[in-house]
Amino acid sequence: RGGTSSCHTLCKDYGDRNVDATETDCPVEDFVSWCLSCDVSLIIRVNSGDEPGLRELGGTYDAMDVRACGISHVDVPVPDWCGGTPDAGAIAAALAEYRRAREDHTAVLVHCKGGFGRSVVLACCCLIDRHDVAGRSLLGWARVARPGAITTAQQERFLCSLGGRADLDRYLSMHISGCSVA
CB atoms within 10 A of CB 162: 23
pLDDT at 179 over 90: no
pLDDT of 29 = 66
CB 152 within 8 A of CB 7: yes
H or E stretch covering 28: helix 28-37
Which pLDDT score is estimated for 96? 94
CB 9 within 8 A of CB 151: yes
Predicted confidence band of residue 148 (pLDDT cuts 50, 70, 90): very high
Least confident of 5-9, 104-108, 152-156, 165-169: 5-9
Of the chain, the end-to-end C-alpha distance in Å amounts to 22
Q: What is the mean pLDDT of the chain?
A: 83
- Note the pLDDT of residue 162: 98
| Helix pair angle (165-176, 88-102), 10° resolution | 130
